[in-house]
Amino acid sequence: MTKKQQKIILLIAISLVFINPIHSFAQGFAGPSRVSGNFQFDGQLYRSDTLIGAPEVNEQMLMNNFANLLFTKGDFTAGLRFEYYLNPIKGYDTKPTGIGMPYRFMAYKTGDFEVTAGSFYEQFGNGLILRAYEDWNLGVDNFLDGLRVKFNPAEGIALKGVYGKQRYFWDHSPGIVRGIDADFSINDLVNSMKESSVRIFAGAGMVSKYQQDELIIPKPGYRYNLPENVPAYSGRLNLSSSNFSFISEYAYKMNDPSSINGFIYKPGQSLYLSATYFKPGLSVMASAKHTDNMSYKSRRTESTTLDINFLPPLTKQHTYNLSAMYPYATQPNGEVAFQGQIIYTIKRRTKIGGNYGTFITANYAIVNSLNRKAIDNDTPIGEKGTLGYKAALFDMGDEKYFRDLNIEISRRMNRDLKVTLQYLNLLYNIDVIEGHPGEPNVKANIGIADIQYRLAPTKTLRFEYQHLLTKQDKGDWAMALVEYTIAPKWSFSISDSYNYGNPESDQKRHYYNATMGYTHHSSRIALAWGRQREGIVCVGGVCRYVPASSGLTITITSSF
Amino acid sequence: MKYRIILIGLLSIIFAFQSCNKIEEPYLIETGEIQAKKTILIEEFTGHQCPNCPRGAKAIDDIVSVYGDRVVIVAVHANFNGRTTAAFPAEYRTEVGNTIDDKFKMEHSGLPKCMVNRIGYPEDKHKIQPEELAGKVSEVISEDPLMDIKVIGNYDEASRKTNFVVNITLLEEMQRKLNLSVFITESNIVSPQKNNEPDFGPTPQIDDYVHNYVLRGSVNGAWGDIICIGNLNPAGTNFSRPYQYTLDPDWNENNCSLVAFVYDPDTSEVLQAAEIKVK
C-alpha cells in the first residue's frame, strides 16, 4: 500500500469517527432474526452433434450452480454465496472451475448510517463510472470486496463511499477501486421547491483505480509511462414530473492506456441523455449517447472482465428467438447512439382499437462509429503511446455499427385471444460486434407473430411464428413454437428453428427444442432438450458467446 | 450538521486531488538494453485460424528484440485455431502441442496467450496476454539462474540426423525433481494467417505470413525425461543426456532449432532453457 493510499484510508477513518457517534452501534440488534436464500442449478447434458458443430464434451455433463444465504437480525445483515462450476458450462469462462464461496458480507445500518464489510454490489448514477453487478446468465460478476459506507447527513442528501478490489473469478483484480458519490434531492434541500410538481435530482461521483506500474513495451527500447491512479468523474441531473422525465449524466475519465484502447493516453468521456413525455395512451422517448474511450477496468491488460463501469445501451432488448439473434454489444472505445420510441394505445371500444384497445410500439435506434480525427499530421489515428485521436461530442462517424427499426402491435381480439405482431429491420456490423473481420454488415428483416389463446381459465395455448430474411451471415431462418401452459404449475413447448437459407447447403440445419417447466411454490424445474445454435447473448449491451450445443439442459431454481 | 457536511466536502476534495496521475508527454520512456542472466521459455499458443494471433506474435518479436537469446520461444499451434482447411492447408499442430494444451488449457481461454516458464500453474495464473508479456518476462528474467544448460551437437545432412548432448550444471544446491524436455522448432515458414488488425497486415488474412518458432515435435515426448528424482544435489552437479533425432523431410533444417529446458514436474515451473540451431 502506498503512502497516498494510507493517507486516504486514515482520512476516511477519522471522518467516520467524527461523523458518527460510536454509541449508535449498540442499537438495532433487537429485531427478529430471519434467514432467507435462493438457489439455482444449471446443468447441461451434452451430446456430440457434428452437424451443428457441437463438440464432444469429456465430462458429458457440466453444471453452474449457486446458493445464496442471507441472515437478517434487526439492522444487521450477513450473507454469503456458494458457487460450483463442475465444470463450467460451455460458453462460460473456465477460470472459476471448482467450488468456492467468493461472496460474503456483513452490513449494519443505524439511522442515517450504513456500513458493509466484505462483498457488495453498487452503482453510481447510471453506472458510467461505477457499477458492480452480477448477471448469472451472462457470467458477469464484478462485485467489490472491501468496505462501503452509506450516509445521509441531511434530508435530501445521500452519500456513498466504496473501497475495495473487484472479484476476478476465485481471486481479486490486481487493481484497487475507490469511489465516492453524492445524490441530492433538490426539492428536499430548497424550501421553495418542496411542493413543486417537478422533482429534481442531482448527483456527482468520483472513482479512482490504482494499479501498480508494470513493464509494457510498445517498441524495442521503450516502455509506457503508465498512470498508477486513474480517476473518473461524473455529474448527473434528473428531472421528473407527472408527464415528463429527463435523465442526463456526463462522465470523464483521465488518461487510462490499456489493451482495450490500444494504449492511448486520451481522456475518455461519455454523455447520456434521455427524455420521455407521457400522457394516458401515449409515451414518447428520445435518447442520445456519446461514448469515447470509456472502457474502465481494474487491470490494464484485461480484455474481457474486470469492468469498473457500465455503459447503458441505447438499443431495445429483443426477447424473441430470431429478433435476439443479432443483439448489439456496446463498443466502449467509441460510439454515437440515438434512440426514439413511441408507445401509443388506441382506445378500447373504438372501431380501430377494438374492445380491449390496441398497443403500438415503434422504436428506432442507430449506433455509428465515432468520427475520429488525427491529433496532428504525423501521428496515425489510434497510434499507441500518443493521445490517439480527437473526437467532438456527438460527432458521428461513417461506419454503421447497428440500426434497428421495429414496430410491435399487440391487441386482445376477444376474451380469450391475444395477438402480437412484430416487424424488425436490422443492420448489424458483425465485424465490429462479433469480431468477424471482413464479413459484410448483416441486413435483416424479421417478422414475428405471437398468438395466445386461452382454452380454459388456467390453460393457455401459445403459437409463435418467426421469420428472418437476410442475404448475409447464415442466411434466412424460420421458426415456429407451440407452448401449452397449465397455470400456475406446468408449461410445455416444442419449437424448431430452421436455417433453410444457409448459403452452404450442408449447413441448412434444424434446431429443434422441447421444453417442460414445473413450478411448485417458490421452486421451479425446467428441462429443455434440443439444439442450441452458435451465437451471442447480450443483456444491457454486455454479451457472452454461446457455442453450438446439443443435449438436455436442466434448470432448478428455488428460494425460501 | 454543518460540520458533518464541511468535513465530507473536505474529504471529497482531498480524495479527488489525491487519486489521480495525469501523465504528460512523452508517454514512452527509454529503457535501453535490459541485462538478464536467466534464459526463460515462452510458449506462445497460437493458430493460423486465429485472427487475433498476429498481435501475440508481435509481442513475441518485441520481447526477442529486447532480450535476444535470453528468451527461448516455442509457438504451439493449438488444436482448434490450428485446424486445416482448403484456405489454410499447412499443418502446424503436433501431438506434443495438443498434449501440452490439454494440460494447461490455453486455447480454452482464448488466444493468443503465452506461458512464461509455465509460472502460475496450477493456480490458473499461467495464461499471459500479449500485453502482459513484457512485464512478466522482466519479472522472471531478473532472477538468478539455478542451473546452466549447454547443448552441443552436430547435424548430418545426408541422413537428416542430429546428434547432440544436453549438459546441465547446477549452480546451487538443490533438492527437487527435475525433468528435461527437448523440442524442435522451425522458423520462417510462409503460409496464410487470419488477421483482424490492419497494423500487422492485410485483413481478414495475410497470405504470406511468416510463422516463426513453430513447434514441430519433441525429442523425448511431451513431458521429457526425468533427470533428478528429488534427492539433494550440491552445486556443480552435472547431468548429461545424449540424444539423436531425425528431421522430417518437409522441414527446412536451416531454420530448425533444438530447444532444451529443465522444469520441476511438481510445479511445472521451467527453471532454465537453452536453444541452438540444428545446423
| Model pLDDT for residues B106-125, shown as the tens digit of each residue | 998 889 999 999 999 988 89
Number of domains chain A contains: 1
Residue A187 is part of a domain; what is its CATH number? Answer: 2.40.160
Question: Shortest CB distance from B28 goes to which of A7, A8, A385?
Answer: A385
The answer to whether the CB of B201 falls within 8 A of the CB of B195 is yes
User: What pLDDT shows up at residue B275?
Assistant: 94
Going from the C-alpha of A476 to that of each of A429, A464, A471, B45, B268, the distances in angstroms are 17, 17, 7, 36, 50
Residue B142 forms contact with A (CB below 8 Å) = no
- Indicate yes or no: CB of B15 within 8 angstroms of CB of A208: yes
Using CA atoms, how far apart are residues A150 and A102, in angstroms rounded to an integer? 23
Task: Answer yes or no: is pLDDT of B38 > 90.
Answer: no
- Indicate yes or no: CB of B19 within 8 angstroms of CB of A7: no
Using CA atoms, how far apart are residues A513 and A498, in angstroms rounded to an integer? 11
Residue A19 lies in a domain: yes
Task: Answer yes or no: is pLDDT of B34 > 60.
Answer: no
Domain that holds residue A222: 1-30+111-312
Q: A43: Cβ–Cβ under 8 A, 6 or more apart, which residues?
A: A61, A62, A63, A65, A553, A554, A555
Residue B245 is part of a domain; what is its CATH number? Answer: 2.60.40.10
Going from the C-alpha of A309 to that of each of A178, A180, A206, A250, B196, the distances in angstroms are 13, 14, 12, 13, 27
- Indicate yes or no: CB of A227 within 8 angstroms of CB of B22: yes
Residue B23 lies in a domain: no
Residue B229 forms contact with A (CB below 8 Å) = no
Residue B27 lies in a domain: no
**The C-alpha cell of A87 is what?**
465444470
Using CA atoms, how far apart are residues B112 and B134, in angstroms rounded to an integer? 15
Q: To probe the interface with A, which of B24, B28, B34, B35 has the most A CB atoms within 10 Å?
A: B28
A475-483 contact pairs (CB < 8 A, 24+):
A475/A499, A475/A500, A475/A501, A475/A502, A475/A503, A476/A500, A476/A501, A477/A322, A477/A325, A477/A501, A479/A321, A479/A322, A481/A321
Residue B8 forms contact with A (CB below 8 Å) = yes
- Indicate yes or no: CB of A159 within 8 angstroms of CB of B204: no
User: Can you tell me the mean pLDDT for B81-88?
Assistant: 90
Question: Shortest CB distance from A228 goes to which of B21, B33, B110?
Answer: B21
User: What pLDDT shows up at residue A23?
Assistant: 40
The torsion defined by the Cα of A100, A101, A103 and A104, in degrees rounded to 10, comes to -160
Using CA atoms, how far apart are residues B140 and A534, in angstroms rounded to an integer? 40
Using CA atoms, how far apart are residues A527 and A520, in angstroms rounded to an integer? 15
Q: State the Cα angle at B44 between B42 and B49, rounded to 5°.
A: 170
- Indicate yes or no: CB of A222 within 8 angstroms of CB of B16: no
- Indicate yes or no: CB of A231 within 8 angstroms of CB of B16: yes
B26 to chain A: which residues are within 8 Å by CB? 225
The answer to whether the CB of A250 falls within 8 A of the CB of A236 is yes
Instruction: Of A476-490, B36-50, B165-179, give the range with the top mean pLDDT.
Output: A476-490
**Beta-carbon count within 10 A of B75 CB:** 26
Question: What DSSP character marks residue A350?
Answer: B
Give bridge partners of residue A396 from the DSSP assignment.
Answer: A370
Residue A137 lies in a domain: yes
What stretches in chain A show pLDDT beneath 70? 1-29, 220
Residue A508 lies in a domain: no
Shortest distance between the Cα of A220 and any Cα of chain B, in A, equals 6
B153 dihedral zone (left: phi>0; alpha: psi -120 to 50; beta): beta
- Indicate yes or no: CB of A223 within 8 angstroms of CB of B20: no
CB-count burial class (<10 Å; 0-12, 13-18, 19+) for B203: middle
Shortest distance between the Cα of B19 and any Cα of chain A, in A, equals 6
Shortest distance between the Cα of A161 and any Cα of chain B, in A, equals 10
pLDDT tens sequence across A141-172? 999 999 999 999 888 999 999 999 999 999 99
Query: Which residue, A140, A99, A542, A98, is CA-closest to A306?
Result: A140
Domain that holds residue B204: 37-277
A182 to chain B: which residues are within 8 Å by CB? 12
- Indicate yes or no: CB of B109 within 8 angstroms of CB of A226: no
* H-run or E-run covering A7: helix A3-19
Could you give the count of Cα atoms lying within 13 Å of B2 in the half-sphere of its Cβ? 0
Using CA atoms, how far apart are residues A318 and A85, in angstroms rounded to an integer? 29
**Beta-carbon count within 10 A of A71 CB:** 15
Number of residues that this document lists for chain A: 560
Residue A285 lies in a domain: yes
Task: Answer yes or no: is pLDDT of B252 > 90.
Answer: yes
User: What pLDDT shows up at residue A48?
Assistant: 85
pTM of this structure: 0.74
Residue B64 forms contact with A (CB below 8 Å) = no
CB-count burial class (<10 Å; 0-12, 13-18, 19+) for A41: middle
Residue A468 lies in a domain: no
pLDDT tens sequence across B207-218? 999 999 999 999
Chain B (70-99) residues lying within 8 Å, Cβ to Cβ, of chain A: none
Mean pLDDT of chain B: 88
B131 to chain A: which residues are within 8 Å by CB? 216, 259, 263, 300-301
Residue A7 lies in a domain: yes
Query: Which residue, B246, B277, B247, B235, is CA-closest to B260?
Result: B277
Using CA atoms, how far apart are residues B128 and B121, in angstroms rounded to an integer? 11
Provide the 3-class DSSP secondary structure of residue B174. Answer: strand
A259 to chain B: which residues are within 8 Å by CB? 129, 131
**The C-alpha cell of A543 is what?**
454479451
B33 to chain A: which residues are within 8 Å by CB? 221
Residue B123 lies in a domain: yes
Task: Answer yes or no: is pLDDT of B195 > 70.
Answer: yes
Using CA atoms, how far apart are residues A157 and B5, in angstroms rounded to an integer? 10
Residue B25 lies in a domain: no
Number of domains chain B contains: 1
E-strand spans in A18-90? 33-46, 61-73, 76-85
Question: Shortest CB distance from B18 goes to which of A8, A221, A300?
Answer: A8
- Confidence bin at B232 (pLDDT 50/70/90): confident
Shortest distance between the Cα of A36 and any Cα of chain B, in A, equals 33
Residue A49 lies in a domain: no
Residue B103 forms contact with A (CB below 8 Å) = no
Task: Answer yes or no: is pLDDT of B36 > 80.
Answer: no
- Indicate yes or no: CB of B19 within 8 angstroms of CB of A303: no
Provide the H-helix boundaries in chain B. 2-18, 53-67, 95-104, 130-141
Question: Shortest CB distance from B203 goes to which of A12, A178, A437?
Answer: A437
Residue B6 lies in a domain: no
User: What pLDDT shows up at residue A16?
Assistant: 41
Which position has the higher pLDDT, A459 or B236?
A459
- Indicate yes or no: CB of B16 within 8 angstroms of CB of A206: yes
